[in-house]
Structures are given as structure tokens and as C-alpha cells.
A and B are shown apart, each in its own frame.
Chain A
Amino acid sequence: MNDRVVEVSNLSKQFKEIKAVSNLNLNVYRGDVFGFLGPNGAGKSTTIRALLSLIRPDSGTIKILGNSLKEKRKQILSKVGAIIEKPDFYGYLTAYRNLEILARLSGKEISRNRILELLELVGLRNRAKSKVKTFSHGMKQRLGIAQALLHDPELVVLDEPTTGLDPQGVKEIRDLIIRMSREEHKTIFLSSHILSEIEIVANRMIIINKGTAVVEGEVKDLLNSDTVKVKFEVDDSVKAKKAVENTGWYNKIEAVSENKIVFMLDQNEAGLLNKHLVENNVTVNAIIPTRSLEDFFLKITSEAG
């Protein structure tokens, strides 16, 4: 297909005894916000480093924007912006100078105004002349976003971009990702270990574990078919447990504590269960759905195995 922005085929990489990535295949299409999920140590960073030519794969091929990374590395990298893991800069230089240096390396004419515009976008305009060593992690993360967008790339690779940010910062980055995708039509490759983050911004996703793909597809399809962990806060959990004793919900109890009872339910079951509990004189104070990557991941792997 012509609109494939990233094509990874049979990618493998081993570090001494450890197989970091094994025969990984994935495709990212133009305009995608592609969620790249996996627990820590799953091989996400190794894959991203291979995509950006920081490491050399043992085998497999990577094509970006239709070109082989091995053959057209420079041409490809001129159209790719990235944040890889923690944002590091030249601490002894100012934010502006860091971006200026990176702009010169981009192979494109990037004006002073563009740099200032990006600093404005990430909320660092008033710190342009401050040395980066004085920045907090969150500020560096935002500067990382600015450097990734400097040369107006077609593909933006973001490796855990919200790590270490406060809730406001997380929201700003998410909004920025959505805006880049919707308004600037950029393709985003977003790595994360937080499922909710992917759920909010991505349209397609892949989950990897131990270096191999576990599941890949449309986010809405994958997550909508998922069961949800739902926590019911009740007046008496023993009474609540008794109320579901002879129903199918009894086997879906995950945990019970004094005023809480947790069920693993299908998407539309929470309402019915709530009705059942109320009809059986259980006071339900709150219904809290939770879905973690671990739960989703466990479900997917148990289905696969």
C-alpha cells in the first residue's frame, strides 16, 4: 500500500543473551496516531531506536515513507522528528541555542521565528534564554516536543512523551498530539505503557511483549471488545456478594474488601449489575470502571495462549 508511512518486517535485535525484539512486524499508515504499547522491557525502545537508526537490527527491514532506512537514512530522517525516552539536551546551552543547533543539523532552512514559534507552542518562550540545565524534567520534555517539530516532519515518533509531566502537562501534550494529527495531518508513532493514554489519542495500536507483537488493530475494535474491571463502592460488600451468589456475576468477582467489590465485566454489564444490586437492597455509592494495560494485556495473552 502506498500510504504506509512505517513498514517493519521481521525485525529482530539481540543484545548478548537477551532477545529484545524478535520477528516484529508492524505497519503505520499516513495520518495514523499509532499507539505502540507494551510493558517495560517489551522491546518498545529497541524498536524505536531501530526506526531512528540509533541501533542496527540483526535482521529484518524497516521502510519509512516508502524508502529503506538502510539505503536512504538521511533522506528519511529529514522527514522524521522524534523524542526518544528522556529528553536530554546540551545543558550548558540555552533552550534557543539547543534548538538553533538542531535546526542547522536538519538540513532545512529554519528561521529564528520558527524556533521562537515552537518555544511559544510548548510554553517555553519566556525561558528561551535560560540554560537547559536549569529546566525541570517537564520543561525538558516540552523542549523535546519542540525539537521534534522543528523541521516540520511528516512522521513524529514520540517515546513516552508524557513521562514525568504533571497532569496539566500531560493534557497539553495529548492536546498537541491530537492537534498535530487533525490539523497538521502528521503521522504520529506514540509509544507508551499507559493504555488510557493510547485510548485517548490513538486510532490504531499494537501491543508487544518480549519483543513480539501480541495484537495489532484499530483501537476502538480492540478496546471495545475488552472486559472492564469495575469497582463498586457499596454500603456492605458481604451483602453485595450474597446478592450475586446465584448469578453469573458471582464468578466475575475479582476482589472484595469492606466497602468495595470489584468485578471483571463486559462493557455493557455494569448498568445491569448495578440494577441487580439496588433491587437486592445494596446501596451503591459509586461505580468506577478501570482498565489497565496489564489487565488488557493479560486478557490478550491468555486468549492467545
Chain B
Amino acid sequence: MLTLIRIELFKIFSKWRTYIGFIAVGLLISIVHLAMYLEGQSSIDRMTSDLRESFIFVGNLLNGYWISYLILNSLAVHIPFLIALVAGDLLAGEATAGTYRLLITRPVSRMQIASSKFIAGSIYTGLLILWLAIMSLGIGVLIFGSGELFTKQSEAIIILDKSDVLWRFLLAYGYAFLGMAVVCSLAFFFSSLVENAIGPIVSTMAVIIIFLIISAIDVEILRDVRPYLFTSYINQWHEFFNDPVDYAAIRDAVLILAAHIVILFGITSYIFNKKDILS
């Protein structure tokens, strides 16, 4: 199994498309850093202008933590696309290239093939999140230094002491990985249904965008649907920046996301096991 995972990772990282995600994240964060370096202070001032009438702000609000927090908000739409780009190709790419035949005529089970591909896709997802963390948090702190984290949560304003922030970020990135692993399993699922990689990428993004729109429209009937949409839980990492942290809500969200992964992977494996390879 380990050999299979290594082979799948080797295949993933031998493709140019794999690096698009890393380049895009690197570029995006560099642009954000540059923009913040040039205009960040006025941006902070604008955001806090109302509050400054009642509060006095001291210390370095424009810091690496705050910028990383802003960047983490891009998770819901942008990072899924970069993940779907690779995960959607995992099975469909083999069908397009005609290499299913090479794989399946080897003495490995289809379950092993599906599992190794999914694990490799998840590792790619993890590495992309790690890259996001290094670029936004690591480089952000290097350039802008650390400081108190100022956030708005619903109706409340929360200012977290700088010694109280790093662990929250680490858990938030861990949670973000779980959310993105759901996206990976969704793209992987679509990848098992078709024979070209474009379909899974478009389908995954379509599902995410539809779910996000449903979540955004404030109508009672749609409000009832929200708990059943995995996108409702992807941004739950915000919870780690609450004070106190609502661990029960996080636990429930983690269980729901994990269930999505298990169910989607289960269905994908079933389809792949039953599939007639005609490509």
C-alpha cells in the first residue's frame, strides 16, 4: 500500500497542473502581503474607524496574524478549485490517458488503487494547506511581525493576545485541511464517474458554488437546508478564534465533515470496484 501511495504521489508531482495550486497560493499571498505593506495601515484604520470613537487601540494591529486570518477566509471558494484541479484528475486522468488498463491488470486490488489515489490526493491537499500556512502565517509574521489578533465574530469584537493566537491558527489550519479533504473526496467521487478531468473539476466547483449561494440567501426554507450542506461547516474554523472556543460546535462540525469524507470515499470505491474499464 505504501508503494502504491508513493507511486501516486510521484505521478501527482510529475504533473505540471499540481504546481498551479502552489504557484497560485504563493502569488496570491505575495500580492496580499505587498498590498498590506503599502496600504495595510489605512485599511485597518478604515475598518476600526467606528470603533475608535469608543476604544483606544494600542499595539500592532497590522500583523502577520491578522493578515493570515484574512487570507484563511479565501478557503471557501478559491482553494477548492485548486484541490479539484488535482483530485478531479486522479481517476478520470487515468481513463483519459488509457492507463487504467496498465494499473488494473497489475496484481493490486481496485480498492488498493482507489485508496492509494485518495490518500495521495489528501496528502496533496494537506501540503497545499501547509503551503498556505507557511506563506500566510510564516512569511506574514516575518514581514509584519506578530501582535494581537483583532477579529469580528458575529456581533462581537474579539481581540486575542498575541501569546494566545498561534495554537488557534494551528488548529484552524488542521480544521481547514479537513474541510478541504471533503472537497478532495467530492472531486474524487466525480472523477470516478467520468473519463475526462474537466467534468469533475467543473462539477465540484458547481456543487460548492450552489451550496454557498444557498447558504447566503436568507430565506427560511433554505435556512433549513443549510445544516445538510458541507459548505456550511468549511468556514467553521472561525470558531477557533472565539473566546471561549465552542468545542462542542467544532466537534459536531468535524464529525459531519469526516462523515462526508467516509461516505464519499465509500461510494467512489464502490463505483470504481464495479466499473467496467472500457477506455
A residues touching B (Cβ–Cβ < 8 Å)?
15, 49, 52-56, 73-78, 80, 82, 84-86, 88-93, 97, 101-102, 104-107, 147
B residues touching A (Cβ–Cβ < 8 Å)?
3-4, 7, 10-11, 14-16, 97-109, 274, 276-278
B89 to chain A: closest CB distance in Å? 12
B97/A56 in contact, CB under 8 A:
no
B106/A77 in contact, CB under 8 A:
yes
A54/B99 in contact, CB under 8 A:
no
Known contacts A89-B99, A147-B102; is-contact A55 B278 (Cβ 8 Å) = yes
The 4 A-B pairs at the shortest CB distance, nearest first, are namely: A88-B98, A105-B106, A55-B276, A54-B277
A69 to chain B: closest CB distance in Å? 12
- Of A55, A76, A86, which is within 8 A of B277 by CB? A55
Interface centre among A49, A84, A89, A105 (most CB of B within 10 A): A105
A56 to chain B: closest CB distance in Å? 6
- Of B4, B7, B16, B105, which is within 8 A of A84 by CB? B105
Q: List 22 A-B contacts (CB under 8 A).
A: A49-B277, A53-B104, A54-B101, A54-B104, A54-B105, A54-B278, A56-B274, A73-B109, A85-B101, A88-B97, A89-B97, A90-B14, A90-B97, A92-B14, A92-B15, A97-B14, A101-B11, A104-B3, A105-B106, A105-B108, A106-B106, A107-B106
B105 cross-chain contacts in A, Cβ below 8 A: 52-54, 77, 80, 82, 84
B8 to chain A: closest CB distance in Å? 10
B101 cross-chain contacts in A, Cβ below 8 A: 52, 54, 84-85, 88
A53 cross-chain contacts in B, Cβ below 8 A: 104-105
- Of A52, A76, A101, which is within 8 A of B10 by CB? A101
A70 to chain B: closest CB distance in Å? 13
C-alpha gap A89/B96 in the complex (Å): 11
Residue ID in chain B nearest A52 by CB atoms:
B105
C-alpha gap A105/B7 in the complex (Å): 9
Residue ID in chain B nearest A79 by CB atoms:
B107
A93 cross-chain contacts in B, Cβ below 8 A: 11, 14
B107/A54 in contact, CB under 8 A:
no
A249 to chain B: closest CB distance in Å? 48
B103 cross-chain contacts in A, Cβ below 8 A: 105
C-alpha gap A153/B105 in the complex (Å): 12
B99/A90 in contact, CB under 8 A:
yes
B278 cross-chain contacts in A, Cβ below 8 A: 49, 54-55
A88/B107 in contact, CB under 8 A:
no
Known contacts A86-B98, A89-B102; is-contact A78 B7 (Cβ 8 Å) = no
Residue ID in chain A nearest B17 by CB atoms:
A92
A88/B14 in contact, CB under 8 A:
no
B98 cross-chain contacts in A, Cβ below 8 A: 86, 88
Known: A91-B97, A93-B14. 14 other contacts (CB 8 A): A15-B276, A54-B100, A54-B277, A54-B278, A74-B108, A75-B107, A76-B107, A78-B107, A86-B98, A88-B99, A101-B7, A101-B10, A102-B102, A105-B107
C-alpha gap A55/B105 in the complex (Å): 11
A52 cross-chain contacts in B, Cβ below 8 A: 101, 104-105
B14 cross-chain contacts in A, Cβ below 8 A: 90, 92-93, 97
Residue ID in chain B nearest A74 by CB atoms:
B107
B11/A90 in contact, CB under 8 A:
yes
A74 cross-chain contacts in B, Cβ below 8 A: 107-109
B99 cross-chain contacts in A, Cβ below 8 A: 88-90
Known contacts A77-B106, A84-B105; is-contact A105 B277 (Cβ 8 Å) = no
- Of A77, A86, A147, which is within 8 A of B107 by CB? A77
C-alpha gap A53/B15 in the complex (Å): 28
Residue ID in chain A nearest B277 by CB atoms:
A54
C-alpha gap A12/B276 in the complex (Å): 14
C-alpha gap A88/B94 in the complex (Å): 10
C-alpha gap A92/B99 in the complex (Å): 12
B276 cross-chain contacts in A, Cβ below 8 A: 15, 49, 54-56
B229 to chain A: closest CB distance in Å? 35
C-alpha gap A88/B14 in the complex (Å): 17
A86 cross-chain contacts in B, Cβ below 8 A: 98
Residue ID in chain A nearest B105 by CB atoms:
A52
A85 cross-chain contacts in B, Cβ below 8 A: 101
Residue ID in chain B nearest A51 by CB atoms:
B105
B4 cross-chain contacts in A, Cβ below 8 A: 105
C-alpha gap A112/B7 in the complex (Å): 17
Residue ID in chain A nearest B6 by CB atoms:
A104
B274 cross-chain contacts in A, Cβ below 8 A: 56
Residue ID in chain B nearest A57 by CB atoms:
B276
A15 cross-chain contacts in B, Cβ below 8 A: 276
C-alpha gap A91/B94 in the complex (Å): 11
B114 to chain A: closest CB distance in Å? 14
Residue ID in chain B nearest A159 by CB atoms:
B101
A228 to chain B: closest CB distance in Å? 37
C-alpha gap A1/B101 in the complex (Å): 31
B15 to chain A: closest CB distance in Å? 6
Interface centre among B99, B101, B104, B277 (most CB of A within 10 A): B101
C-alpha gap A105/B1 in the complex (Å): 10
Known contacts A49-B277, A93-B14; is-contact A88 B102 (Cβ 8 Å) = yes
C-alpha gap A105/B101 in the complex (Å): 13
C-alpha gap A49/B276 in the complex (Å): 9
C-alpha gap A213/B35 in the complex (Å): 73
C-alpha gap A56/B277 in the complex (Å): 9
